[in-house]
Structure 1
Amino acid sequence: MGYCHFEALTVTDYIYACVNCGYHPPVVIMDLHKKGVFSMSVSDLKEPPPEFRGEVDIEDFWKSVNLEMIGRGFVPSRTKNPFAVQPSYSRWAPWIGHKTRMDHTVLNTEFAKVATAKVTSAEAQMMNVSEDRLVDELMKQKVGVVRKLCKACNIDSKGSCMDLISRLRAEMQNRQSYDKMFQKIWGASGGWSVILCPHGVVYSIKFNLRAESPRDFAHLLLSWKHIPNVSIYDFARGLATHGNLRVPTDIPFHPHEGRLAEPTPESISSAKQGKLKVSLPWLFEKTDNSSSKGHPITGSSEHYVLYDKLHESNTKDPQDVLRRISLVPELQGWLNSQIAEQFFASLRKNNYFLNNMAPSTHIFIMRNIVHHKNTSTNQKLLEVQLQRGHRPHGLENITLSDLGQAILAQQASDRETVQHHPHQLNQKDFENCGPQCEVFTKCENIAACRVSWTLGSHPAQKELLNYILDIERPGNELIVRTANTVLTRADFWTLGLNRDMESTIGNSCFQLIESIAQSKGKNIYIVDLYVVPTWLPPNNCDPFLSLPDDAHLKDALVIPVWTPGHYQLCVRIHTAFE
């Protein structure tokens, strides 16, 4: 209670935006957190007034929630709080950052989920989604739970689990029975509908009053100033259908109703065989043919709805094969379509105390938790950005562009011209060992130019090299000690003489290459030479277990592969939104 009161009195800018993707991410991942619910009596939800069209004032709603939290500090209980906010179809609003949403008016038509009027076949298909998902949850329950639920609904509780579920599904046509099952299995409310960018930053969160359906995500996106070019969802077809039905005069998901290609028999067959590839180059570089309706980052006005990889094979519609992420080369290798599931897993420890809170407290605390989670994620992303300069940078060097993307501010020293750059020196300057040698061999001064690779050795360097490679001296003599490696003369023999290179010194060389790349503003990862052979028979280890957790944030992944006579460097360049 005290924390809520404190937070409500604190001025907090719930910006809900990623420092890499900006205020308007071109690619988003959407999912539902079913475990995030609050206790609520369905019968208390009254139908909205006849003139209500599904538009709510987001600023007014969250100000009223703030006012309730402040008021609790002056009353003995919530029931006596004159500012208490109750769940309502006509006022309940999601949270979308003010830089991302169109204005203070957002969409929320959850009252339509319980409408009894006749609807079109496309709409009916989506209304059935809630029942299908509830059945999925019933399938996960133990037989005893399902049997008790049958008794509560006055249904025959004898028979197998599948028999009981079949009877319950038939009984779902009765709204009262449906509400009873939903409250028992799912929880009173419908969970959190969340939209994230590929980096795991939450942009929108909606606290559903009823069971989730594609309309929840469609209305979140339609409340944005710029709809993402690629939206990833576990029921992509339903999302595209509802979005286009909602705005038939200016359909949001196009071309091909959000599919990657026209659903012809040829394209469907080609996609099933893995031969169809649909390139979206504007995901990496803004198109020159930007239209007035184009996305501010990509310039494209195309909007696709794709399935996440976990659910892409669950659909029965053959045309949905054209909604697969694997068809887009620009989305391969870096996009984690399960980032939402990972986000929910990180919040699992909060479910118990959140689910026992009153609805208004639940959403107030949850918005605050997500804000701090976003801040932590952005901090990590900024640290990666700071490692990409030629010299150390600090947070004071970070600024945001007009689109909300983090950029490094140019320092005065960066604008100055270096009068005596090492690459401007000639061979005569290196006849004797001195400070110029140290400067020339610094990581930031090594470049892909002739001077770096053709410079000869002066006598002192030759003498040192001959000493290290002298085969008459002890091979176990310590030559170099680094933070995590000890190199002996025998190690250097494998590098400098005509012998097979030992992997220990090979890894040390690659560490130096990583340092050079970092000094050039590139954050790369090179796989350990000892690890790569374990991927092959007979070990057949999983290569992904050898990669760091932040592999998707690296500029490049380098895999050294040995073939008879030499190494090959397999490089996977990462060019995601940065």
Structure 2
Amino acid sequence: MDHQKQLFSCETLCQVCPEHPKLDEAVLITNKARIVSMMGVIENVSTHHRLCPQCHMVCRYQEWTDGLHNFDNHVVLSLELCLFLRENLQNRVSASRVIDSLEGLRRVKFPSRDTIFHAYFHFEALTDTDYMYSCINCGFHPPVVVMDLHRKGVFKLAVSDLKAPEDFNGEHDIEGFWNSVHVEMISRGFFPSGTKNPFSVPPSYTSWAPWIGNETRTSDIVLNTEFQKVGISSSHEAKLSGVTEDRLLDELAKQKVGVVRKLCKACNIDSKGSRFDLITRLREKMKSRQTYDKVFQSIWGASGGWSVILCPHGIVYSVYSVRFNLRAESPRDFADLLLSWKHMPNVCVYDFARSLAAHTNLRVPDKLPFHPHEGRLAEPTEENVKAAQDGSLKVNLPWLHERMDSVNEDPHLVTGSSDHYVLYDRFHEGNTKDPKDKLRRIQLVPELKGWLNSQVVEQFFANMRKSNYFLSNMSPSTHVFMMRNITHHYNSYQQETSGEAAKTWSTWKDQYLIVGTGSSCRSPTGVQ
């Protein structure tokens, strides 16, 4: 709590003008600023800025070497508090709960939760983070990936408000989009609360990019063709999202009376009476599919979840791509991601393998992405299907263990193979009625059987689900920024963990491994 109470920028020269003129004398902004730290709140802090006499650029206090982060010249966070908030978010504790705990501990009134939350985002946006999204085991180009959708990872969105673009090919500048999200987070420190931020990033079919690490993607131009989903009916979206009528009514009951009344008017229902009367009328009217769809779009008003691609290394898995869907899931989401990769994985594991293979191959008919056999492990003959059903068919992919010398066009950087397969995860093999899909089973491949954890995405989602209570209540741009940031720090932790594990194993192996027939191998702790 010994921070200085007079905060001046150390800059004395303008870094924008060519001749670097001297800045004007410091001007007081306020003497009522507050420094918020783990120990409490320091009141009556003075903040100052300097002005360039030529370009009129404002240079304000932003000296991290003091252990402080200036948000808006009125609220200044200690770096320790920023890092503490980061660790808590990694452990699924929202910023507001952290501040509630600190207030109870210090018996001091902190600034509003929203202000501290935006100040923390301001800190993360100004932090030099690489967002590489890769695994220490797989590098930047994993040969085997697992893909799935987290349907409950959503933000509030009225899909009906999105306008379908004209003359748009679905290509997005990934760096441009994410830089604009960063600018929104940073600009919140320059506009008073409650005023419109001109740098806000609303969801749009023409500007809504996924995140793929810069070493993994082909270029800064990536695909997002969700605007082509517009033809899918909203009732189909409701079905895919698994929203029952009862669940929709529960969400309806949480809305304000004005929202329910407005919805009744939109559905040509009497809008007079209590909330209970309005919901009762809507419930009767929702027996009509048209009204149900309208209530779904208006009240559920949520995005389509997270499409995620991970590598399958057991506990030490890493996220490679994440996409924040505006509409309900379809194979198009994962096709967009895979077609944006520099080296498409040789083996993809997905719930709807056949649909993904068919859709992606239709997108690129002149150079089929999934081949041979449309991504199946063997030619779909009756003999092969029967052998797969009996468990007698084995398809070896030796290049998964040792890189092959390939003469084929466009081989994978790690395996040397240009073959690309789409397989079902173990728990969804029985979802298909097509007998040919038995040739998409993981257990047919000896190199995958036993070690491939096809449930890594579910494990990741089970972990992230604990954060839904605060992620799902954020605005779209805040949601995607926070999700990407949490996932980055998660990946970084996984890499540190796997690196230490590999180092420990290497040391133990050199010191304790006994080589020889019939000898026993025990670790220093006695574990065989």
Match of residue 353, structure 1, among 470, 478, 481 = 470
Question: How far off is 1:182 after superposition?
Answer: 5.4
- Using the alignment, how far apart are the partners of 1:14 and 1:55 within structure 2? 21
CA contact (8 A) 2:248 2:299 kept: no
- Using the alignment, how far apart are the partners of 1:143 and 1:189 within structure 2? 15
**Which residue identity lines up with residue 522 of structure 2 in the other structure?**
E
1:197 equivalenced with 2:314 (yes/no): no
Q: Residue 105 of structure 1 corresponds to which residue in structure 2?
A: 221
Question: How far off is 1:145 after superposition?
Answer: 5.4
Match of residue 138, structure 1, among 244, 251, 268 = 244
Change (3 A) 1:170 1:105: farther
Question: How far off is 1:41 after superposition?
Answer: 2.0
Deviations 1:501-526 (A, max 9, x none): xxxxxxxx95xx2239x9xxxxx963
Change (3 A) 1:194 1:78: farther
- Using the alignment, how far apart are the partners of 1:79 and 1:364 within structure 2? 21
Change (3 A) 1:355 1:318: same
CA contact (8 A) 1:153 1:177 kept: no
Q: Residue 567 of structure 1 corresponds to which residue in structure 2?
A: none
CA RMSD of aligned residues (A): 3.3
Question: How far off is 1:115 after superposition?
Answer: 3.0
Q: Residue 537 of structure 1 corresponds to which residue in structure 2?
A: none
SS in 2 for 1:224: coil
Change (3 A) 1:386 1:320: same
**Which residue identity lines up with residue 22 of structure 1 in the other structure?**
G
Deviations 1:473-492 (A, max 9, x none): xxxxxxxxxxxxxxxxxxxx
1:93 equivalenced with 2:93 (yes/no): no
**Which residue identity lines up with residue 352 of structure 2 in the other structure?**
F
Matched ranges for 1:380-529 at <5 A: 380-390=497-507, 443=512, 447-448=515-516, 510=520, 513-515=521-523, 526=528
**Which residue identity lines up with residue 188 of structure 1 in the other structure?**
A
* Structure 1: 5+ residue stretches without partners: 117-123, 156-164, 394-441, 454-508, 519-523, 527-578
Deviations 1:293-331 (A, max 9, x none): 111111110000011111110111221111111111111
Change (3 A) 1:183 1:384: farther
- Using the alignment, how far apart are the partners of 2:409 and 2:527 within structure 1? 40
Q: Residue 293 of structure 2 corresponds to which residue in structure 1?
A: 178
* Structure 2: 5+ residue stretches without partners: 1-117, 254-259, 270-282
- Using the alignment, how far apart are the partners of 1:63 and 1:515 within structure 2? 49
- Using the alignment, how far apart are the partners of 1:362 and 1:271 within structure 2? 44
Q: Residue 134 of structure 2 corresponds to which residue in structure 1?
A: 17
Change (3 A) 1:98 1:341: same
Q: Residue 333 of structure 2 corresponds to which residue in structure 1?
A: 216
Deviations 1:372-431 (A, max 9, x none): 1111111111112102334799xxxxxxxxxxxxxxxxxxxxxxxxxxxxxxxxxxxxxx
**Which residue identity lines up with residue 133 of structure 1 in the other structure?**
L
CA contact (8 A) 1:96 1:203 kept: yes
Q: Residue 320 of structure 1 corresponds to which residue in structure 2?
A: 437
Q: Residue 240 of structure 1 corresponds to which residue in structure 2?
A: 357
Change (3 A) 1:270 1:317: same
Aligned length: 386
CA contact (8 A) 1:192 1:205 kept: yes
Q: Residue 499 of structure 1 corresponds to which residue in structure 2?
A: none
SS in 2 for 1:194: strand
Match of residue 196, structure 2, among 80, 105, 129 = 80
Question: How far off is 1:142 after superposition?
Answer: 6.2
Q: Residue 85 of structure 2 corresponds to which residue in structure 1?
A: none
Q: Residue 299 of structure 1 corresponds to which residue in structure 2?
A: 416
**Bigger radius of gyration:** 1
Q: Between 34-43 and 350-359, report the one with greater CA deviation.
A: 34-43
Q: Residue 539 of structure 1 corresponds to which residue in structure 2?
A: none
1:276 equivalenced with 2:383 (yes/no): no
SS in 1 for 2:360: helix
Match of residue 46, structure 1, among 163, 174, 185 = 163
Change (3 A) 1:214 1:168: farther
Change (3 A) 1:147 1:209: closer
Deviations 1:26-83 (A, max 9, x none): 00000111111111222321121x2210001000000000000000011123651111
CA contact (8 A) 1:386 1:392 kept: no
- Using the alignment, how far apart are the partners of 1:262 and 1:133 within structure 2? 31
Stretches of 4+ aligned residues off by more than 6 angstroms: 146-155, 167-170
Question: How far off is 1:147 after superposition?
Answer: 11
SS in 1 for 2:447: helix
SS in 1 for 2:307: strand
SS in 1 for 2:506: coil
SS in 1 for 2:293: helix
- Using the alignment, how far apart are the partners of 2:189 and 2:247 within structure 1? 43
Change (3 A) 1:284 1:129: farther
- Using the alignment, how far apart are the partners of 2:527 and 2:193 within structure 1? 56
**Which residue identity lines up with residue 263 of structure 1 in the other structure?**
P
Identity score, percent: 57
**Which residue identity lines up with residue 338 of structure 2 in the other structure?**
L
CA contact (8 A) 1:306 1:325 kept: yes
**Which residue identity lines up with residue 126 of structure 2 in the other structure?**
L
Question: How far off is 1:144 after superposition?
Answer: 6.7
CA contact (8 A) 1:54 1:108 kept: yes
SS in 1 for 2:497: helix
